[in-house]
Copies of this chain bind each other. A is one copy, B any other.
């Protein structure tokens, strides 16, 4: 049995109340002597409060739930890193929930987290979640009364707190970079189009085309599912379409694109330029390092956790919409178009 507040009361001959008071630094005039006694005993007995009991009374646990779709995806790993860093710094704790893209599991997890009395949830919607499913999840959290911030999504809606990156700008950066290099036929390998992150990137891409007065060609757009294989499929699917550059909506797909392109005997960047999105770490170690749009992923995580912790401490639930700026990391996979 772990030592409890009772043990230290017995040891010091003081009452439980007194012990609790001094251990929590409560403003009550208890003699310095008693205080010293208590602290000493606490140290000697290696006392640590039972957070279950504390939580039961205080109605909070200083715990955040982190709901994501695949911890093996470097994007989410970085995000988790940020969340964890912020939490541990603040004396909070994080429960890891990997939903594996399953909406049902998502919902189930929310209930579990609620049972465990988490004080907040950081939510990364699964890629398959349509606006409807998203709202369903959101409502579940509202209903459970758990504050939540959405990361990397920014569905419109009242009271939806989100932390994300300006993907319109991201799409713009990628496209303009290629356009400046002289590319005019830029294929786009998007993620699921119903996701706002994709719509935004695509909009940025179109805006850039617009600036250069290049017509938008739907035949160059290929919708995929954010995986390496997706990238390979995309190239296969685009066969026949002439293009000199590819803008993939995440780095994973970009890797797939590069693989398949090479399999077809094409060189990067001599024959085709490739731009990715996210800047997860493998992008730098490739033999031909990937030019990509960098999101401050870890920052997203830190900020999301901060918002939740702040909202909790100040009891102010600010309806915020934090938007980070992406930046372009120019590396070896892009080059001026061949004449």
Contact = CB atoms under 8 A, between A and B. Distances in A.
A52 B96 CA distance: 18
Contact of A72 (B51, B61, B78, B98): B78
Nearest to A65: B93
B96 A80 contact: yes
A93 B93 contact: no
A298 to B, nearest CB: 8
Interface in A2-53: 2, 46, 48-53
A309 to B, nearest CB: 16
A202 to B, nearest CB: 25
A66 B96 contact: yes
Interface in A96-155: 96-98, 100, 105, 109, 111-112, 114-117, 143, 145
Given A56-B56, A285-B259, A98 B85 contact: yes
A56 B94 CA distance: 20
A159 interface: no
Contacts of A255: 285
A88 B111 CA distance: 13
A81 B71 contact: yes
Contacts of A72: 74, 77-78, 81, 281
Contacts of A318: none
Contact of A94 (B88, B95, B145): B95
B71 A74 contact: no
A81 B98 contact: yes
B98 A96 contact: no
Interface residues of A, number: 52
Contacts of A114: 2, 48
A310 interface: no
Interface string A266-289: 000000000000000110011110
A117 B1 CA distance: 12
Given A81-B72, A84-B98, A52 B49 contact: no
Contacts of A94: 95-96
Contacts of A228: 285
Contacts of A117: 50-52
Nearest to A58: B52
A98 B93 contact: no
A287 B288 contact: yes
A205 to B, nearest CB: 24
A118 to B, nearest CB: 10
Contacts of A88: 97-98, 105, 109
A83 B70 CA distance: 13
A71 B53 CA distance: 30
Interface of A: 2, 46, 48-53, 55-56, 61, 66, 70-72, 74, 77-78, 80-81, 84-85, 88, 93-98, 100, 105, 109, 111-112, 114-117, 143, 145, 228, 255-256, 258-259, 262, 281-282, 285-288
Question: Which 9 interchain pairs have the tightest Cβ spacing?
Answer: A282-B282, A287-B287, A96-B96, A84-B98, A255-B285, A77-B77, A51-B115, A52-B56, A52-B55
